[in-house]
Chain A
Amino acid sequence: DGGITQSPKYLFRKEGQNVTLSCEQNLNHDAMYWYRQDPGQGLRLIYYSQIVNDFQKGDIAEGYSVSREKKESFPLTVTSAQKNPTAFYLCASTGRGSSYEQYFGPGTRLTVT
């Protein structure tokens, strides 16, 4: 089945540690995105990539880093510089064609204490 996988589902870290969230898609989509969602809030864009080896900052990129070495993979690193890292992180992708429907992975809940 085609889709987007994110791992792990829940992640716990101590303050000061970097942590990497995984996002993999087998939809052959060119573009991938990372969003952050805080309780009761909408989605805010962290980073996005429209093509391999290229990515752009979103609205809240500070304290995060990404890489796009393969079309299928777009990992997100939450660094110790991110002041409030506890949140729900969602990865998404879109393909080319007559429509640009965006599809989401199941998300990773990160808790930093």
Chain B
Amino acid sequence: GIQVEQSPPDLILQEGANSTLRCNFSDSVNNLQWFHQNPWGQLINLFYIPSGTKQNGRLSATTVATERYSLLYISSSQTTDSGVYFCAVERRKAGNTPLVFGKGTRLSVIA
């Protein structure tokens, strides 16, 4: 099956710093999403981005589907950005099939 690898596994930042999280996947995908899991366990959708670039405030994401990777950029980090960031891709191109999740990047932003 498709493999999803995220790096780095852990990241500690000073408030105000920028960071880049990476997601590599082993096969072509029809669906790629980035999620943020807050300290209470809730997963929040950040981006649906099977290809191209999107921006939402201080966050942006780029997926280069032909090279099988996606990047999540966090600028001017805040303590509320802390948590775990997951990348997930769809197993097949049929749609509505289960996502395969990476192991996540745990981000800690220190004031």
Q: Which residues of A contact B (CB under 8 A)?
A: 30-31, 33, 37, 41-43, 45, 48, 50, 58, 88, 90, 92, 94, 96, 99-104, 106-107, 109
Interface of A is mostly: strand
Q: How far is the CA of A101 from the CA of B43 in the complex (A)?
A: 13
A31, A42, A90, A100: which contacts B103 (Cβ < 8 A)?
A42
In the complex, residue of chain B having the shortest beta-carbon distance to the beta carbon of A96: B96
Q: Which residues of B contact A (CB under 8 A)?
A: 31, 33, 35, 40-45, 48, 86, 88, 90, 95-99, 101-104
Q: Which residues of A contact B95 (CB under 8 A)?
A: 96, 100
Q: How far is the CA of A31 from the CA of B35 in the complex (A)?
A: 19
A99 close to B41 (CB less than 8 A): no
B96 close to A50 (CB less than 8 A): yes
